Amino acid sequence: MIYEGKQKIWSEYQKEIPDDHYFYVRSCIRQSFFPASEATFLEITRNRLGKDIFETEHHTTCGGIAYHSDAIPQETAMTIIARQFGLMHKYGYENYVCSCITSFGLYCETLETWRQFPELAAKIADILWKTCKLEFAKPRFIVHASDLIYHYRNEIAAMARHRLVNVHTGEPLKVVEHIGCHYSKMFPSKGVGGAEYPYVLAGMIEAWGGQVVDYPERRHCCGFGFRQYFIKANRGYSLSNTYKKFESMEPYHPDMIITNCPGCPYFMDRWQYVIAEETGKTYGENGHGIPVFTYEEVAGLVLGYDPWDLGLQTHQIGPEPVLDKMGIKYDPSRKYLGLKGKDLGMPVCPGCIK
């Protein structure tokens, strides 16, 4: 591997990321999968970094989940998106940050479609005004929330309480970075580092002391892939994708996985249980799986937040091996306590994987 070659590509794919003043939109599914991630993003950016990140309860889905499932046509998704942008404009913002990778890809696709077919943009603007009385607007800058954390990675590193380093050996943690397919595979120039060797998560890992694992199936889909999962008969495809990735990364003995997509951490986390149940195989140490995190969760751990406040108890694969390696103190008895100490109940833990 020629690291300088990657650096050259990274230098060619650096997008402009404004430092402040963003209109924030959430993902449809992340609050169910990893409920504290978006709250952590807002906590870090607003309260630790002092940034102006605005959100409104009036925003909706971008429509991507239906669009990519062939349930709605592109014009419908574009109208929903035009409404989101219209809200951004109404509240006086021109920088748009979204939590979801699929949304990010769809926003890029929509803006490019409007650029190439202005008559379509005009039609959508007309529909938007008739249905919502909102003014049609396009964001000046559109970024994914992981772009923003990447942008702030060195500030976060400067405030770090913990690093991605094994405190017992002094060695950097070996971290697999998994990028959502819709981040830059469709529009390489819209992603930090491009499509083939994205740097958005690798940059965080490097800044926070870890070592990036580049394994053969790095680019492969996590297994979500919408119709692969939503259509029940196709779920074998979904599982086989995930299995392929874990078989490929296994020889590198990764300590953890970081992702930037709503679906990827969910499927890479949950399917490890199914693989263990079906084959008896686990990919971590001593019967553990490989812990899978969102980038907000990792930023939160680096900054010293309590793992259970970050929602790590909602993961299938227990995060404890990584917490122990990073030297993070945690109270096991608090693991299944929710807000204000509410008892969430002890889940039934499978015997095939920890």
Partner 1 sequence: MKNNVLIAGAGPAGLEASAALQRLGYNVILIERSETIGGHLARWDRLFPDGESASAALDSLIEGIWGVKCFTDTEITSANRLGKSFNVILSNGIIVHADAVLMTTGFDLFEASKKEEYGYGIYDHVITNADLEAFFRNGSDPRINNPSRIGFVHCVGSRDEKAGCRSCSKVCCATAVKQACEMRQAFPNSQVYCFYMDLRLFGRHYEDMYLSAQRDYGVRFIRGRVAEVSENLDGSLMIKAEDTVASAPLKVSLDLLVLMAGMRPSVSGARIGSLLGLQSEDDGYFRVMDGILDAQRSTVPGLFLAGAATGPKTLPETLADARAAAVEIDKYLSVTFPEAKDFKQLMRKGW
What residues line the site for partner 1 (CB under 8 A)?
1-2, 5-6, 8-9, 194-197, 214-219, 251-252
How does 171-208 read in b/e, with b if 16+ C-beta sit within 10 Å? Answer: ebbbbbbbbbbbbbbbbbebbbbbbebbbbbbbbbbbb
For residue 295, the minimal CB distance to partner 1 (Å) is: 23
Residue (70 or 217) nearer to partner 1, CB: 217
CB nearer to partner 1: give 118 or 251.
Answer: 251
Q: Which is nearer to partner 1, 3 or 47 (CB)?
A: 3
In the complex, what is the shortest distance from the CB of residue 105 to partner 1, in angstroms, rounded to a whole number? 18
Burial class (CB in 10 A: 0-12, 13-18, 19+), 73: exposed
Instruction: Report the DSSP pairing between strands 95-98 and 141-144.
Output: parallel
Q: How far apart are the C-alpha atoms of 268 and 274, rounded to whole Å? A: 10
Shortest Å, Cβ 59 to partner 1: 35
Q: Which is nearer to partner 1, 236 or 341 (CB)?
A: 236
Query: Closest separation between CB of residue 216 and partner 1, Å?
Result: 4
Q: Which residues pair with 140 in a beta bridge?
A: none
CB atoms within 10 A of CB 71: 12
Alpha carbons 2 and 12: distance in angstroms, whole number: 16
Closer Cβ to partner 1, 55 or 250, answer by number: 250
Determine which helix (DSSP H) or strand (DSSP E) holds 277, and give its type and residue range: helix 263-279
d(CA 196, CA 279): 32
Q: Which is nearer to partner 1, 14 or 131 (CB)?
A: 14
At closest approach, how far in Å is the CB of 88 from partner 1?
Answer: 32
Least distance (Å) between residue 251 CB and partner 1: 5
